[in-house]
Chain A
């Protein structure tokens, strides 16, 4: 194989990280029973928020915080309409996507043509650029943050009381309400977290991959994040696998386009690259069908997903 395996792994990690981040955020939100389809909008808000933060402060850490705040803003706006005003979650989420895309483009006008320093690895260049060790240490802090969050989210949902409450709110909101938990409060908190994660995912585009701003620069990755949450059956560990699987598929699309197969697997070269581009979505449909056909479920959608909370009192 005459392609650089180490560098390819690093490219795949770079492609998977935004999906993983946005997916984790959306996982928590959906576990609490809310379906927020506005991930793409929140990611774009995070991308411009992070970029603006980076240009104005010159500090990448503050930029990431700004991105998280921008994403959370979008999510809380969504929460205002769906939780406090009980509007339809699907439609409001789509409206958030369009709103986020438009607002980010408008705010981005002042930032076209500007650049920031890429938010690269904080390890010393000796290891970060080492031909072999860079595969472990050469990444932006956002990558490590994403991996840590997988563990943190899994632990929170399954091992803490807070996670139990959140899951209860998502499975049976009326019971949770009658026990005395604030369903709306828990869902707002989940939305804020989801928005912050989506915002950081968006900032990964404008601060790490291509340190500049361009309209719609997240290129539909928000939708892939939504698909990967379903693909993962709402489990954090499977989400990690799903995000990286989709990252590999995206890498395969470009690899095929560059004729990478020609040297060692000519038969594979005959497959059009558009096939690889379609694969993530095809796989999600297949997995969804398999999960739904199993009656007992196990990792199925939270029972209250997408339903408005209407307590009788």
Chain B
């Protein structure tokens, strides 16, 4: 439990010594190197933590053939180009970039390293050596929205978003639609904080949402800060990317857990077999990339039943939250009764449904 200060300083000195070693590729590589670019710290117990679990799954399944290396806390700006390039220069044959904001950077480095394969998470730009993969988090949001719609006393729900990108828009819409199925007057107040991980800002934004009348808040950002605020105020919330109940035992109703392990193992195997091809993968409940955490004991039985029903529907392929009639914020009918929005349209969705209140 002691702070490893001395070891950390030795590590820092070691870093200087390893620099020249990194550059050289003269050593015979027996194990294939697999690289990961992480947005936040592994210890965020959220988005990056889940991706790291995926990385560990690769180690467990293929540890005799591959070696994984990773870089944490890579900001979503031009410095990411350097980080991705470092992994490629270190000899990685496949690199997973785990956030939307690495899209252009991945494409750029991919053009410099045609023999290296790249996998970009939640993006939409592909190339011969760049694949994209995503998870249908919005299916999980439908479960959260159902629970929120039934448990909220004020009927005003909060959504802590990051940027107006399709993944977040889908999440907000799915949450709103599913809540409205249980409470037709439910409203969703949305705040975009322009960051995926900024605990003080997430805390202040959560407080603002609560001040505006929200009694259940779900977040699309990566830290447990929002849950901590909700716990202090005796309100409800959900974990993001992983089970965060240790941070907020009373407030945490359930969480959407991201399960990346099987996909990562499959793709690395394809690389080793030589069958890797660029493509797009978008899995959800059915394939097991979205999992709902155990429910908090405070959730009443009828709510649990409703939530389970949604999950079962998705797993069987019979349920889709984006089934019409769906109206947009101005009241126009965007999806007709019985029609289902196609995956292609979902991937670029940029409008919010009726009942979502946001500044933009």
Residues of A within 8 A of B (CB): 2-4, 7-8, 10-11, 14-15, 52, 106-107, 109-113, 115, 118, 120, 205, 209-212, 214-215, 217-219, 250-251, 254-260, 262, 269, 273
Q: Mark B345-360, 1 if CB is under 8 A from A, else 0.
A: 0000000000001110
The answer to whether A257 touches B359 (Cβ under 8 A) is yes
The answer to whether B41 touches A215 (Cβ under 8 A) is yes
Among B1-38, those with CB < 8 Å from A are 3-5, 8, 12
The answer to whether A254 touches B205 (Cβ under 8 A) is yes
Q: CA of A259 to CA of B172 in the docked complex: distance in angstroms?
A: 15
The answer to whether B359 touches A256 (Cβ under 8 A) is yes
The answer to whether B359 touches A210 (Cβ under 8 A) is no
- Contact (A259, B204) CB under 8 Å given A7-B210, A106-B8, A115-B247: no
Which residue of chain A has its CB nearest to the CB of B159?
A258
- Cβ-based interface call for B60 (8 A): no
Which residue of chain A has its CB nearest to the CB of B246?
A115
- Contact (A3, B5) CB under 8 Å given A118-B232, A257-B205: no
The answer to whether B197 touches A254 (Cβ under 8 A) is no
Among B192-215, those with CB < 8 Å from A are 192-193, 197-205, 207-213
Q: Mark B133-158, 1 if CB is under 8 A from A, else 0.
A: 00000000000000000000000000
Q: Which of these, B8, B193, B224, contacts A109 with CB under 8 Å?
A: B8
Q: CA of A146 to CA of B210 in the docked complex: distance in angstroms?
A: 26
Supply 17 further A-B pairs (C-beta < 8 A) apart from A11-B207, A106-B12, A212-B228: A4-B211, A14-B204, A14-B207, A109-B8, A112-B42, A113-B43, A210-B200, A210-B202, A211-B228, A212-B199, A214-B41, A214-B199, A214-B223, A257-B205, A258-B189, A258-B190, A259-B189
Q: Which residues of B have CB within 8 Å of A120?
A: 232
Q: CA of A251 to CA of B207 in the docked complex: distance in angstroms?
A: 10
Enumerate 13 A-B pairs (CB-CB under 8 Å) in ascending A order. A2-B212, A4-B212, A11-B208, A107-B5, A110-B4, A113-B45, A209-B203, A210-B203, A212-B223, A250-B204, A254-B204, A257-B359, A259-B359
Q: Which residues of B have CB within 8 Å of A10?
A: 207
Interface centre among A112, A118, A262 (most CB of B within 10 A): A112
- Cβ-based interface call for B73 (8 A): yes
Min C-beta distance of B71 to chain A, whole Å = 14
Q: Which residues of B have CB within 8 Å of A215?
A: 41, 73
Q: Which residues of B have CB within 8 Å of A209?
A: 199-200, 203-204
The answer to whether A210 touches B212 (Cβ under 8 A) is no
- Cβ-based interface call for B74 (8 A): no
Q: CA of A75 to CA of B201 in the docked complex: distance in angstroms?
A: 27
The answer to whether B213 touches A3 (Cβ under 8 A) is yes
Q: Which residues of A have CB within 8 Å of B190?
A: 258-259
- Contact (A258, B359) CB under 8 Å given A4-B210, A211-B228: yes
The answer to whether A219 touches B201 (Cβ under 8 A) is yes
Q: CA of A214 to CA of B44 in the docked complex: distance in angstroms?
A: 8
Q: Which residues of A have CB within 8 Å of B103?
A: none
Q: Which residues of B have CB within 8 Å of A269?
A: 359
Q: CA of A111 to CA of B192 in the docked complex: distance in angstroms?
A: 28
Which residue of chain B has its CB nearest to the CB of A114?
B43
Min C-beta distance of B64 to chain A, whole Å = 30
- Contact (A107, B189) CB under 8 Å given A14-B207, A212-B199, A259-B359: no
Interface centre among B12, B41, B202, B204 (most CB of A within 10 A): B204
Interface centre among A14, A210, A269 (most CB of B within 10 A): A210
Q: Which residues of B have CB within 8 Å of A219?
A: 198, 200-201
Number of interface residues of B (CB under 8 A): 43
Q: Which residues of A have CB within 8 Å of B223?
A: 210, 212, 214
Q: Which residues of B have CB within 8 Å of A107?
A: 3, 5, 8
The answer to whether B204 touches A260 (Cβ under 8 A) is no
Q: CA of A254 to CA of B210 in the docked complex: distance in angstroms?
A: 12
- Cβ-based interface call for B87 (8 A): no
Q: CA of A120 to CA of B204 in the docked complex: distance in angstroms?
A: 16
- Cβ-based interface call for B191 (8 A): yes
- Contact (A112, B41) CB under 8 Å given A3-B211, A11-B211, A217-B200: yes
Min C-beta distance of A230 to chain B, whole Å = 23
Interface centre among B191, B192, B211, B229 (most CB of A within 10 A): B211
Q: Mark B221-241, 1 if CB is under 8 A from A, else 0.
A: 001110011001000000000
The answer to whether B357 touches A118 (Cβ under 8 A) is no
Which residue of chain B has its CB nearest to the CB of A250?
B204
Which residue of chain A has its CB nearest to the CB of B197?
A214
Which residue of chain A has its CB nearest to the CB of B231?
A118
Which residue of chain B has its CB nearest to the CB of A15?
B204
Q: Which of these, B3, B192, B203, contacts A52 with CB under 8 Å?
A: B3
The answer to whether A218 touches B200 (Cβ under 8 A) is yes
Q: Which residues of A have CB within 8 Å of B225?
A: 210, 212
Which residue of chain B has its CB nearest to the CB of A271?
B359
Interface centre among A111, A113, A256, A258 (most CB of B within 10 A): A258
Interface centre among B43, B246, B359 (most CB of A within 10 A): B359
Q: CA of A212 to CA of B197 in the docked complex: distance in angstroms?
A: 13
Q: Which of these, A52, A211, A251, A259, contacts B357 with CB under 8 Å?
A: A259
Q: Which residues of B have CB within 8 Å of A251?
A: 204, 208
Q: Which 10 A-B pairs have the closest CB atoms?
A: A112-B43, A113-B43, A210-B199, A210-B225, A254-B208, A258-B191, A11-B207, A7-B211, A4-B211, A259-B359
Q: Which residues of B have CB within 8 Å of A115?
A: 224, 228, 246-247
Q: Which residues of A have CB within 8 Å of B224?
A: 115, 212
Q: CA of A260 to CA of B213 in the docked complex: distance in angstroms?
A: 10
Q: Which residues of A have CB within 8 Å of B42?
A: 112
Q: Which residues of B have CB within 8 Å of A255?
A: 208, 212
Q: CA of A217 to CA of B203 in the docked complex: distance in angstroms?
A: 11
Which residue of chain A has its CB nearest to the CB of B202?
A210
Q: Which of these, A3, A106, A118, A217, contacts B212 with CB under 8 Å?
A: A3
Q: Mark B316-328, 1 if CB is under 8 A from A, else 0.
A: 0000000000000
